[in-house]
Structures are given as C-alpha cells and as structure tokens.
Chain A
Amino acid sequence: MIDQQIGALFVQVAYIGASAAFILGLRGLTKPDTARRGMQLAAFGMLLAIIGTLLNHEIVSYEFIIIGLVVGSAIGLPMGLLVPMTAMPQRIAISHMFGALAVTLVGIAEFIYTRDSAGGPGVVKMTAIGFETLFGALTITGSFMAFGKLQGFIPGRPITFPGQKLINAAVFFGAVGLYVTLVLTQSGGSTEAGLIMFAVMTVLALVIGVTLVLPIGGADMPVVVSLLNSYAGLAASATGFAIGNNILIVAGALDGASGFILSILMSKAMNRSFANVLFGAFGGEKAAASAKSAEGLTTRSVTPEDAAMRIGYARNVIIVPGYGMAVAQAQHAVRELAELIEKRGGRVRFAIHPVAGRMPGHMNVLLAEANVPYDHLFDLDEINEEFHACDVALVLGANDVTNPAAKSDPGSPIYGMPILNVQDAEQVIVVKRGMATGFAGIENELFYLDKTSMLFGDAKSVLSQVVTEVKGL
C-alpha cells in the first residue's frame, strides 16, 4: 500500500517535471540561440514522463508496450534523420496524422472499456472521450489529405463539386448530433445502440477530415497545417480530461495554443478572417474574380548575363523567396549568389512573407539549410520600409505576396493582404518559369512596371548561370 503510494507520487513528480520541461523548452524557442537547448530539455521531459508512466501500477504486462515502442522508434528514427528539409511540410502533416491516430485509438479503447466497466463513463467523461475521438478522427484523414496534396499524389488544386457545402454540413451536423446524443445518454445506454452511434460518429469524423481539406488549394496549406496542428493538440488535451491525466492536458493545451496562434497569423497574412479559416470555407470563391487583365501591357525579359550585370554591381540587394524557390530547390544557388555579392562589397538581405511556401517558416528552414545566416532573414514588418533604399530586389518564385494591387486596387481579390513592397526598389528582377498567374489567379502589376525585368527559367539553373556570370565580372 505504502509502496504503491510512493510509486504514484513518483509518477506525479515525473509528470510535473515534464510539464515544466515542456514549457521552458518552448520558451527556449523564442530565441534562435537558446532554441536547441530548450528542445533538448523538452525531450528530456518527455523521457521523464515515459519512465514515470512505465512505473504506473495499472500496468501488468509490458509485451505490447515494448512492441509499440520498438516499432514506433524503428519508423520514427529514420523519418527524423532522413527526411530532406524540402519535404518538411509533408512530414509535419503526416506527423499530425500519427499523433491523431494515437489519440483516437485511446479514445475508442476508453469508450469501450468504460462502457463495459461498472457505471459507464458518465456525462463528463463521455464529453471528453467524444471530443477526443471526433477531433482525433477528423485530424487523421485531414492530415493525410494535406500530406497527399503536399506530396503530390492528390491534386494540389481545390477540388469542388456541386452540393459540396450541403453534404459537408450534413456530415458535420450528423457527427455533432451523435456526439451530443452520446453525451446526454451517457454513452448510449447499455445496448448495442451506443456502440453503433459511436462507430458512426467516428466514421463521419473521418469523412469530415477528407471534405475539409479537399476544397483547399496548395497555397492555403500553411493555414491548414497550422489548423490541424491545433486540432491534434486539442484532441490530446481532451484525452487528458478523459483519463484524468494532467500532463496530457498541459502538453495538448500548449500544442493547441501554438497551432491556433499560427493559424491566426497565417490567415492574417492572407487577409482572411479567422472564422473563414475555422469553417474551412477558404480556397473556393476567390479564383473567379480577376481584377485587371494584362492586355496591352508588355513585360521586359532579360538574359542571365544582363541580370548578372545589375546584381553584380548592386550595393544593396533584397531577395524575396517564394514557393518557386522550394520547388526548384534553388536555395543553395541563392546562397552562393548572396555570398558572391557580399564578397564584392554589397549587402544582401532576405525578405520573407509569412505565407511564403507551404507552411509557416518554410523559407527560413530552407535558407538555413543552405547555410544562410539567420540574421540575414527578415520578416515583412522588419524589412518592408527598406525596399526603397535597395538597388535590386530579386523575386524568386514569389507572386501574389508581391502584387501591388493588394494596396492600390480595391477591386482586387487580394486587396488588403499585407505584401512586400518590392515595387519600391530601384530595380526589380523577377525569376519565374513563365507568365502563369499565382495562386489567386490574378495578374501581378509588378511584372509590367518599367523598372521590372523578367528572368524566365527554372530558378536553380537560371541562378547558377547568374552566379557564373557574376564571377566573371
């Protein structure tokens, strides 16, 4: 008896230590130079929590635990070590799926177990289990869809069909209705009805995950991935409520808060209301409106040699990377060019829009991988006033985030979206594969300005040519 109490106390102390480690670890992430140690502390906290749990007196056999730990490590370790940085959005999306899968399985197991044990789950516990399973299940399929779109085996464009909203609403209210019924009847009574209701609710939640992400286009992925991050956290927190475990509540709440904040930041950067994001109604209507057509306007195209001349003699260069840089894997060529300009006495900075790429911070990670020092990377607010003092702004596969129409044309679908003031630079060089419009489906006035030169081609090969030319200057 006393041994058991000491054991329980040890478990709780381990959990408290882990909570503190998680919070302090995340605090480390507020600065780049403390980030790494912070995360090591968090990892230590996780180890502490696992060891504490293994000592739990409820556990009678370890076979299944060991099998799970070994299989999970065997998959997780190579994934962690080998996934290339360019595949980071996919890897984050699929990891939300694994987290949600664990949470959902725990929810289903708890539901079945508490129904069979004396007294049933009760209203409060059923509320938590239902919420956990609902959010967990929709995050599983939602994350898998996001993974598919990012990996490219599901088309990245928005997929819509007639009556989509109606079907979505029916599925959504069906799942919520079953959830409420289950809570009010405390798991649906002792008959089979409860089990069936729970099963149908789980399946509907899986369907919601699919229909939520289906109509969303590739460029909206930063919002989706952040939102799924938040859902996965909330589901983990609900697990904590269901089994009365505080460490789950704390860690889930931290994850939920993080995903929520990132979702808000991303939707602000795309000029969408948060409600718009929450209900997944984005990506649909806006492609229809097209503000100004490009008729009668001409662009000026330049060769890599011309571009090299301008860049090579520039004193102050700002590079604006976008998804095109990631697609072309041009980050190493960019770094080479930046170093070359610096060697020639120029100054190079990178201006990074919050929604550049396919997830929050995507560009920063790619450039860091290519050894660009992080003090060269600047946010929208930090650098936007600097464009008018810069000789050359080099836009690399970014489009909508540089469109001046967001400021000047109230009729434009992207009006009001914060943009990088690239048009203030003395000269603009845009590296692009062709004249295709960006995700918003609208023309970019920037490309037709007198000061703008278009450098057509694959970002990586074009930049390599520019680098060679600059070397020869």
Chain B
Amino acid sequence: MTALLTALGAAAAIIAATSGGAPTAAVSTTLIDAQIVEVYVFLLAAFIGFQIITKVPPLLHTPLMAATNAISAISLVASIVIAGAERPLFINIMGAVAVAAATINVVGGFVITDRMLKMFKKTEGPK
C-alpha cells in the first residue's frame, strides 16, 4: 500500500515536472529530456498496472477487461484535439470519427462495467 502510494506520487511528480515542457520546445536537448521522461511515465504506469492487476481476483476478470477497455478509451483526448484543432477538413473529419469511436467505449464501457459490478453480491445476512 505505502509502496503503491510512493510510486503513484513519483509518477505524479514526473507528470507535473514534464507538463511545463511544451512539445514545441526549440532546443533539442529538452525535447530528448521530455521523451525520456515519457518512457519513465510508461514504465512506472506499467509497473503499477502489473502490481495492481495481479491482485484482481479471477472473479472480477471480465469487469476488469471492460474497465481497462473504458480507461484506454482515453484516446478520446487525442481524438478531440484532432477533431477541433486548426487542421485540414479531412483531418478534422477523421478526428470526429475517432471521437465517436472512443466515446462509444467511454460511455458504453463504464456503463457496462457498473452493470456487471452491481450484480456481484455476497450471501445475504448470517444464517
């Protein structure tokens, strides 16, 4: 638990530290730094993911798949930028399709996960 929180804090600190560096940074060294930090973020997130997900009981493996699927629909964030930024029309349209596809997963994924988790009940009351 404490290890997890430490790792979480470290990841957050790194994300915070990189947030200042816009991708347009002109100096190439900062660009490389930013990319190295991205690798750190990936490794830490994957590490935390492994730690947590190995503890998910087989009982909940189907909700787990539905949930991670909904979470990975975070690509919605990238799709929104492409749909709304100042780019050629056909790229905006591709973005709109991407937004729709990702939204299906965000909305459908969280709703269905909740529907499943709602069903898991313990034996009612002591006998």
- Interface of A with B (CB < 8 Å)? 8-9, 12, 15-16, 18-20, 22-23, 25-27, 29-33, 35-36, 39-40, 42-43, 46, 49-50, 53-54, 56, 58-62, 64-65, 67-69, 71-73, 75-77, 79-81, 83, 85, 88, 91-92, 95-96, 98-99, 101-103, 105-106, 108-110, 112-113, 124, 225-226, 229, 232-233, 236-237, 239-241, 243-259, 261-262, 265, 352, 354, 359-362, 364-365, 368-369, 371, 373-377, 379
Determine how close the nearest CB of chain B comes to the CB of A260; give it in whole angstroms.
8
> Closest CB of chain A to B114's CB: distance in Å?
6
A379 and B107 contact, CB distance less than 8 A? no
Minimum CB distance partner of A30 in chain B: B55
Find out whether the CB atom of A79 lies under 8 angstroms from the CB atom of B108: yes
- A26 touching B67 in the complex, CB below 8 Å, given contacts A80-B110, A374-B120: yes
Q: Which of B16, B63, B87, B119 contacts A12 (CB 8 A)?
A: B16
Interface range on chain B: under 10, 10 to 19, 20 to 34, or 35 or more? 35 or more
Given contacts A29-B52, A101-B98, A105-B82, 9 further A-B contacts (CB under 8 A): A12-B16, A35-B60, A53-B81, A110-B82, A229-B69, A240-B42, A249-B38, A250-B11, A258-B49
Do A364 and B111 touch (CB < 8 A)? no
Residues in B34-82 with C-beta less than 8 Å from chain A: 34-35, 38, 41-42, 45-46, 48-50, 52-82
- Residues of B bordering A, CB below 8 Å: 4, 8, 11-12, 15-16, 18-19, 22-23, 34-35, 38, 41-42, 45-46, 48-50, 52-87, 91-124
**What are the residues of chain A within 8 A of B99 when measuring CB–CB?**
64-65, 67-69, 72, 102
Instruction: Say whether A251 contacts B41, CB under 8 Å.
Output: no
Contact in complex: A112, B78 (CB < 8 Å): no
Q: Which of B16, B52, B121 has the most CB of A within 10 A?
A: B52
Which residues of the partner chain A approach B34 to less than 8 Å between Cβ atoms?
244
Q: Are A233 and B123 in contact (CB under 8 A)?
A: no
Closest to B127 in A: A342
Alpha-carbon distance A174/B62, docked complex (angstroms):
35
Interchain CA distance A119-B72 in the complex, whole Å: 30
A252 to B71, CA, bound (A): 8
Chain B residues with Cβ under 8 A from A31's Cβ? 57
A76 touches B105 (CB 8 A): yes
Partner of B74, one of A25, A49, A68, A375: A49
* Other-chain residue from B38, B54, B55 in contact with A244 (beta carbon distance below 8 A): B38
Contact between chains at B119 and A81 (CB < 8 Å) = no
Which residues from chain B contact A35 at a C-beta distance below 8 Å?
60, 63, 117, 120
A57 to chain B, nearest CB (A): 10
Contact present for A68 and B53 (CB under 8 Å): no
A368, B84: Cβ atoms under 8 Å? no
B82's partner among A32, A75, A109 (CB-CB below 8 A) is: A109
